[in-house]
């Protein structure tokens, strides 16, 4: 990765067996990243450019094809992206709880609304899909802050339940984490009655992996 200008990377390259598989050049205006150019091995350079507002937010992205997407931000903090318009002119709108910065609803270009709620700690509590009167996803938190890797039933875990909005069937997954936030086990029911799936992850904490 090279070179560096004012502590910022201006070009990044990766060579595998004598071939440059990644070659990216970054351009800046002031503190803002304003261009990113990819150099494919067998094609012309592809440049994406970024426009900013006075608050340093990205408000436009121009793709190598010439298509432009746009973003607008909330009028209170000028920080949260409230509308995203893609290159085809399709608009997605997002609402937030400004006290927490968490997304509470999203409206897609077809007008379909997804609602998200949180508990008192800012953790996701439920998600309601478009057109549904009750939550399709629910989250409950158990043994918060408790870690017992030899007996996971006494360890911190999250139970995620998803209700199918057609069949009404509910699938449930328990996700166990270690003190670093890594998922160490995931347990879930399957489409086959009485058969559960278990996925374990192991980490070498002496090496940080």
Q: Is 6 within the bounds of a domain?
A: yes
Band (3; pLDDT cuts 50, 70, 90): low
User: Is a pLDDT exceeding 90 seen at residue 185?
Assistant: yes
Q: Is 44 within the bounds of a domain?
A: yes
Q: Is 94 within the bounds of a domain?
A: no
Summarised one tens digit per residue, pLDDT across range 98-147 is 999 999 999 999 999 999 999 999 999 999 999 999 999 999 999 999 99
Q: Is 37 within the bounds of a domain?
A: yes
Longest dimension (CA), the chain: 60
Q: Is 30 within the bounds of a domain?
A: yes
Distance between CA atoms of residues 142 and 122, nearest Å: 15
Count of domains observed in the chain: 1
Q: Is 124 within the bounds of a domain?
A: no
Q: Is 193 within the bounds of a domain?
A: no
Domain coverage including residue 8: 1-52
User: How many whole angstroms from its chain centre is CA 205?
Assistant: 26
Q: What is the pLDDT of residue 148?
A: 92
User: Is a pLDDT exceeding 80 seen at residue 209?
Assistant: no
Residue 38 CB partners (closer than 8 Å, separation 6+): 23, 24, 45, 46, 47
Q: Is 18 within the bounds of a domain?
A: yes
């Amino acid at each position: 990765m090279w070179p560096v200008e004012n502590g910022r990377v201006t070009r990044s390259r990766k060579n595998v067996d004598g071939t440059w598989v990644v070659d990216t050049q970054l351009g800046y205006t002031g503190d803002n990243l304003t261009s990113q150019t990819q150099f494919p091995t067998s094609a012309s350079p592809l440049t994406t450019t970024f426009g900013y507002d006075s608050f340093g937010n990205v408000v436009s992205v121009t793709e190598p094809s010439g298509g432009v997407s746009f973003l607008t931000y909330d009028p209170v903090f000028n920080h949260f992206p409230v509308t995203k318009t893609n290159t085809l002119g399709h608009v997605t709108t997002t609402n937030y709880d400004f006290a927490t910065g968490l997304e509470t609803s999203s409206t897609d270009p077809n007008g379909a609304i997804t609602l998200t709620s949180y508990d008192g700690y800012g953790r996701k509590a439920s998600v309601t899909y478009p057109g549904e009167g009750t939550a399709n996803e629910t989250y409950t938190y158990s043994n918060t802050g408790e870690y017992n890797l030899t007996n996971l039933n006494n360890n911190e875990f999250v139970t995620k339940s998803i209700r199918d909005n057609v069949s009404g069937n509910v699938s449930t997954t328990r996700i166990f984490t270690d003190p670093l936030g890594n998922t160490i086990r995931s347990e879930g029911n399957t489409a086959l009655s009485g058969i559960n799936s278990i996925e374990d992850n192991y980490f070498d904490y002496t090496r940080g992996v």
